[in-house]
């Protein structure tokens, strides 16, 4: 059973109002983002789930990950979000390290972006997938080869992103790109 990731500008705002139990990991530490919003056995010494999140999943418990995503804090309302989504980003900005280093999930990957030159949501999602270890071998390949292989499940246990995850984050990257451009324009006025 997969878990659900929920992106929020401030995760503590939701955790302050819902009844939850922090998830634990095999090493006994608290999971960075995972919680259970259902009744699950709790270790009274740690106030975390008695089972690590993998064992809990095997036993039918459902973990939710509430993630802090700072991009959302500057979005004014639903209409503003729609405008940021609908605006075509300035793709050429992804060729400039100064800009790339400002962008959520892309900072530090300027060389890959200059090599691949994504110019669509689909290609940006593929680049985000290629940044992960299981698909790094595709960096420098043709877009035909990339698109034929980037969404196939790896045969190894190397970390990879599924297509749905990569597309979700690619859209968030586009939102962030447009938000940065909007903020820079407002500063110039």
State the pLDDT confidence band at 87, using cuts at 50, 70 and 90.
very high
Integer angstrom CA distances of residue 104 from 1, 15, 32, 59, 161: 28, 23, 19, 35, 16
Using the predicted structure, report yes or no on whether residue 40 has a pLDDT greater than 80: yes
Q: CA 178 to CA 186: how far, in whole Å?
A: 12
Taking a C-beta distance cutoff of 8 angstroms, is the pair 139, 116 a contact? yes
pTM here is 0.80
What integer pLDDT is reported at residue 187 of this predicted model?
81
pLDDT of 132-180, one tens digit each? 999 999 999 999 999 999 999 999 889 899 999 899 999 999 999 999 9
Round to whole Å and give the CA distance between 16 and 7. 16
Q: What is the pLDDT of residue 1?
A: 57
* Three-state SS at 125: helix
89-138 pLDDT, tens digit each: 999 999 999 999 999 999 999 999 999 999 999 999 999 999 999 999 99
Distances (CA, A) of 95 to 30, 42, 106, 129, 139: 39, 49, 11, 18, 16
Q: What is the band of 3 on the pLDDT scale with cuts at 50, 70, 90?
A: low
Neighbours of 35 (CB within 10 A): 24
Rounded to whole angstroms, the Cα distance separating 20 from 161 reads 27
Residue 69: predicted pLDDT: 87
Q: Is 137 exposed, middle or buried (0-12, 13-18, 19+ CB in 10 A)?
A: exposed
Instruction: With a cut of 80, say whether residue 188 has pLDDT above it.
Output: no
| Mean pLDDT computed over every residue of the chain | 93
pLDDT of residue 68: 86
Give CA–CA dist 58/60, Å, rounded. 6
Domain range list for the chain? 4-68, 74-188
C-alpha distance across the termini of the chain, in Å: 50
Give 52's DSSP letter.
B
- Which pLDDT score, from 0 to 100, does residue 2 have? 62
Q: How far apart are CA 116 and CA 142, in angstroms?
A: 9
**pLDDT tens string 43-57:** 999 999 999 999 999
């Amino acid at each position: 059973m997969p878990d659900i990731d929920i992106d929020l500008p401030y995760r503590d705002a939701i955790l302050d109002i819902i009844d939850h139990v922090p998830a634990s990991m095999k090493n006994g530490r608290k999971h960075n983002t995972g919680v259970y919003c259902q009744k699950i056995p709790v270790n009274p010494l740690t106030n975390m789930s008695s089972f690590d999140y993998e064992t809990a999943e095997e036993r039918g418990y459902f973990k939710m990950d509430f993630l802090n995503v700072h991009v959302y804090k500057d979005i004014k309302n639903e209409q503003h979000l729609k405008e940021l989504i609908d605006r075509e980003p300035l793709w050429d900005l992804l060729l400039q390290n100064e800009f790339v280093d400002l962008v959520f999930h892309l900072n530090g990957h300027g060389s890959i972006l200059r090599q691949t030159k994504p110019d669509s949501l689909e290609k940006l999602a593929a680049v985000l997938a290629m940044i992960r270890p299981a698909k790094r071998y595709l960096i420098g390949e043709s877009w035909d080869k990339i698109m034929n292989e980037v969404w196939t499940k790896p045969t190894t246990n190397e970390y990879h992103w599924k297509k749905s995850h990569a597309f979700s984050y690619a859209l968030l990257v586009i939102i962030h790109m447009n938000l940065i451009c909007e903020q820079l324009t407002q500063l110039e006025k």
